[in-house]
Amino acid sequence: NAGVTQTPKFRVLKTGQSMTLLCAQDMNHEYMYWYRQDPGMGLRLIHYSVGEGTTAKGEVPDGYNVSRLKKQNFLLGLESAAPSQTSVYFCASGDFPYEQYFGPGTRLTVT
Amino acid sequence: GQQLNQSPQSMFIQEGEDVSMNCTSSSIFNTWLWYKQDPGEGPVLLIALYKAGELTSNGRLTAQFGITRKDSFLNISASIPSDVGIYFCARTNSGGSNYKLTFGKGTLLTVNP
């Protein structure tokens, strides 16, 4: 099993550009999550999904959109990137309600 | 509220020393989890605790769920260089959203060989 994979690993955007981050899991998990990690801030939940076709807002959802069209994939979109969205983005999945398993991360820089 | 206080923020120790870190919350919760993040990687689940007073070990790691259900600690015995990383505590949210976790801000551990 590959577990949780994220694409791409690194990306540099200019302010105003858009992009989509892809998360895929092969563990048949119901729950999927997107977090951002900033120095000194820990992990903050952006959006999450409790099943195929569902999405919900987390702690810091502004400027992001998500979609879960297939159970194994969870996409995070930035419609108009801003420098404040420079961060490391982690996807996680889980089935047992409390245990989440993380991908390797995407490092995004917005200039 | 939903805040988690994790301490210390950072530790610099010698190889072979024992390490202790903890998390506290102002509210009671049902689950505590401990994760480790290696540099440049995603967090990896180390230990999950589900009952007040529960003490669980994973190799040189031991974690306990406090009796008051408001705190948890993680101990690492006989530290080695590969223990370097950021350790996060996390706990489930209350009520019907217990599939969401709140994370502490992490303890950065440096081990000097």
Amino acid at B106: G
A39/B contact by beta carbon, under 8 A: no
A·B CB contacts under 8 A: 51
Q: In chain A, which stretches have pLDDT less than 50?
A: none
pLDDT at position B1 is 45
Chain B interface, Cβ < 8 Å to A? 31, 33, 35, 40-45, 48, 50, 88, 92, 98-101, 103-106
**Min CA distance, A35 vs chain B (Å)?**
11
pLDDT at position B55 is 95
Q: Which of B102, B83, B82 is nearest to B92 (CA)?
A: B102
CB atoms closer than 10 angstroms to residue A60: 17
Spatial separation of the C-alpha atoms in residues B70 and B91, rounded to whole Å: 10
Report the residue from B31, B42, B104 with minimal CB separation from A104. Answer: B42
B97 Cβ contact partners less than 8 Å away, ≥ 6 residues apart: none
Structure tokens at B6: 């994790």
Q: State which residue of chain A sits closest to B96, comparing Cα positions.
A: A97
CB atoms closer than 10 angstroms to residue B82: 8
pLDDT at position A42 is 85
- With tokens 């810091």, the residue in question is A60
Return phi, psi of residue B97, to 5°. Answer: -105, 40
Question: Per residue in B18-57, pLDDT tens?
Answer: 999 999 998 887 889 999 999 889 999 999 998 899 999 9
Backbone torsion region of residue B82, taken as left when φ is above 0, otherwise alpha when ψ lies between -120 and 50, otherwise beta: alpha
